[in-house]
Structures are given as C-alpha cells and as structure tokens.
Amino acid sequence: MVNYLWGGMILVSIVVAGAQGNIEVITSSMFDSAEKAVSVAISLLSIMAFWLGFMKIIEKSGLINIIQVILKPLAFFLFPQVPRNHPAMNAILMNMSANLLGMGNAATPFGIKAMEEMQKLNSRPEEATDEMCTFLAVNTSSLTLVPTTVIALRAATGSLNPAEIIGTTIVATFVSTFMALLFDRILRKRNRQEG
Amino acid sequence: MSAYIHEVPAWVIPVFVALVIVFALLRRVNVFEAFVEGAKEGVPMATRLVPYLVAMIVAVGLFRDSGAMDLLSHLLLPVLDALQVPAEILPLAVMRPVSGGSALAVTTELLHSYGPDSFIGRLASTMQGSTDTTLFVLTVYFGAVGIRKSRHALSVGLIGDLSGIVAAVFICNLVFG
C-alpha cells in the first residue's frame, strides 16, 4: 500500500503540474525536498541522541520502574505478546509517557527503539507484527494529555487563554486513538500475517 | 492564574530533566556515562532513516508544490462540508496526516490570521494537538527496522486521523460554538 501511495503521489503531482503549465516546479521541488529531508534527519539525529541518552539515565536510576507502575496495565493490555520484562516493553512505556506529556520529539526516539526491540521478536522480519501495528495505531493517533507545542504556539500568537484547548484536545485525541485501536483489532483478522 | 498557565509548557521539559537528574544522582548513577552510552545508539538510528525521509519528504513536497494538494482539498470539500468542517480549516485537515511541519505552519498561519481565541483558532489548535503525522510516523518507525509490509497500519492511521478531525469539529462546536 505504501508503494502505491508513494508512486501515486509523485505521478499525480507530475500530471497536475504539467496540466497547469507548471512543470518546471517539479524538478526544483524534488531537489529542495531532498535537501530538506537531510536537514530533518540531522535534527532528528540530535534529538534522538539527546533523548536516548536521557532514557539511559532513566533506566539506570530505576526511575523507569515508577513510570511503569502507572502505565503498565494499559501497556500489558495493548501488547499482550510482548514479554513483560523485555526491553521492548521499557521503550513502549517511555514512548507512551512522552506522548501523554505532549513531548512529541521525545516520543519518536523511544518509539523507534521500541520498534527495534519488537523486531527482535518478529519471525518474519519484512512484515509488521500485530504488536507493531497496534503500536503504530497508538502513535499515529498520539494519545496526548498536555498538547505542549500547541499551547506554546497559542501563547506566542497572543491568546488570552492558551490552555483552554486542553479539554477539547483530550476529547478529540481520545476518540481518534479509540477508533484507531478499534479498527486495528478489526483489520488485524482480515489482514493476517502470512505464515 | 493565567499568567502561570502561559509558563506551564515552557516548564514541563526543564522540570522533567531536573527531576530525573536529581533522582539519578541520589541513586548514585554515573549520569554522564549513562547519557553518552544511550546517546550513541541515536547515531546509527538516525543515519538509517535518511533514505526513508528523503523518499517521503520528496513525495509530500511534490504533492504540495505541484498544486495536487489544492486539487485534493477541492475534491474533499463536499465530504468535509457534510461533516461540518469549516472551509478555512480544510488545508489543515488535509495536511495533518501528511506532513507535520506543513501542518504546524498551517496552524500558525490560521492562529495569526483568525486569532488564537477565535472559533477557527481554537478548532485548529484542537486538531493540531489531537493526532500525529501518520505518514511520518509510519515512514520513520517501519523504516528504522526495515519492515516492507505494513499490513493495515496505514488504513488504521488514516481512520484515526479522520475520527480525530470529526471529533475536534464536534467537541469545538459543543464547547466554543
């Protein structure tokens, strides 16, 4: 599906630009974006190095155990196939707590770490496991309690009450996460992992 | 009180960082060595992501710059109309699952032109905060471990986004409408 989406986006773009007499946009856009992608990767590198370094401190100090106590029941329910003491579970818990606090850029490194650990439990390494799909559902719909970035943005644009959207955001994020998890369960059966 | 609320987001991360370090020092953890050990893992991880990011950002950039995104917005207008999504918010609704940076730019632009405390401003804020960039998360998470068959993950992500948009419109109408 990703193959068709990716190929389709590029082909549609070329056709649309051509039809509108804008074909010269394509070449410049392609190379500008490629350059942008590398700078995004570099900023990801710095963020990842920082948060993974920090996670190690959290792990070694035993603070991870305190965080785990709070989120464990939810994580065990969502990811029954991941062994409870496996490093994958630690990374999943860190990813979930970063998401809840609205620390999006901290959630990504923990999320990738969790994927790497879950991949070690995967018997068909080219194909996503049920747990991975559920994990992606949680992350694409991003369960957030405090939308830190948006609050900061509202404050910066002169809002009289930047935090007033916390309530509505929690409702919307809860609905999107619930629906994502629900459809994850429904589609999982239709879309069984081969073998 | 509202003066303090302004400050809250700025304090979240610093307080968290400070608490962790104090806790670790009390537990006699070698914080510097632990940090460096963990940070090392970030380098190969980010390097492996470069090709996936180039692939995705090029496709999204083309889609936007070619005018295809505007076309898609027009095509989706009746659907979103039926769901009572205001037309002003449409670019954000289309952009949110596709590109995090662009969505944030659209939100910033909406907050500037309509004001953060207008209905559009509050709705845009709610939408921006309630879901993450599905395409980015998919690319990065699957890319990092070399998964080729993503199974139902993309459909599930997009269903989540659509539900989030509809829920944001509904709850904002109810609370701020």
Q: What is the pLDDT of residue A195?
A: 45
Average pLDDT of chain A, as a whole number: 87
Residue B56 counted as domain residue: yes
Q: What is the pLDDT of residue B122?
A: 95
Give chain B's domain count.
1
pLDDT digits (tens, 9 = 90+) for A76-89: 999 999 998 899 99
Q: What is the pLDDT of residue A102?
A: 66
Residue B119 counted as domain residue: yes
Would you tell me which residues 26-85 of chain A have a C-beta closer than 8 angstroms to some C-beta of chain B?
26, 29-30, 32-34, 36-38, 40-42, 44-45, 48-63
pLDDT digits (tens, 9 = 90+) for B121-162: 999 999 988 888 898 899 889 988 989 888 999 999 999 999
Instruction: Considering only the beta carbons, identify the residue of A30, A55, A184 that sits closest to B62.
Output: A30
Residue B10 counted as domain residue: no
- Among residues A2, A30, A106, the alpha carbon closest in space to that of B57 is found at A30
Q: In 3-state terms, what secondary structure has residue A102?
A: coil
Q: Indicate yes or no: CB of A169 within 8 angstroms of CB of B161.
A: no
Residue B89 counted as domain residue: yes
Q: What is the pLDDT of residue B10?
A: 64
Residue B134 counted as domain residue: yes
The DSSP bridge partners found for residue A127 are B149
Residue B15 counted as domain residue: no
Residue B124 counted as domain residue: yes
Confidence label for A162 from pLDDT (cuts 50, 70 and 90): confident
Provide ipTM, 2 decimals: 0.80
Would you tell me which residues 116-135 of chain A have a C-beta closer than 8 angstroms to some C-beta of chain B?
116, 118-119, 125-128, 132-133, 135
pLDDT at A44 over 80: no
pLDDT digits (tens, 9 = 90+) for B21-66: 999 999 999 999 999 998 998 888 788 778 888 887 888 889 888 9
How far is residue B35's CA from residue B33's CA, in Å, rounded to a whole number? 5
pLDDT digits (tens, 9 = 90+) for B62-113: 988 898 888 888 888 888 778 778 878 888 888 888 877 778 878 888 898 8
Q: What is the pLDDT of residue A179?
A: 95
Question: Are the CB atoms for A144 and B129 separated by under 8 Å?
Answer: yes
Q: In 3-state terms, what secondary structure has residue B149?
A: strand
How far is residue A127's CA from residue B4's CA, in Å, rounded to a whole number? 48
Residue B171 counted as domain residue: yes
State which residues form the domain around B128: 44-176
Q: In 3-state terms, what secondary structure has residue B117?
A: coil
- Among residues B132, B73, B128, B84, the alpha carbon closest in space to that of B106 is found at B128
Kindly state the DSSP code that residue A145 receives in the 8-state scheme.
S
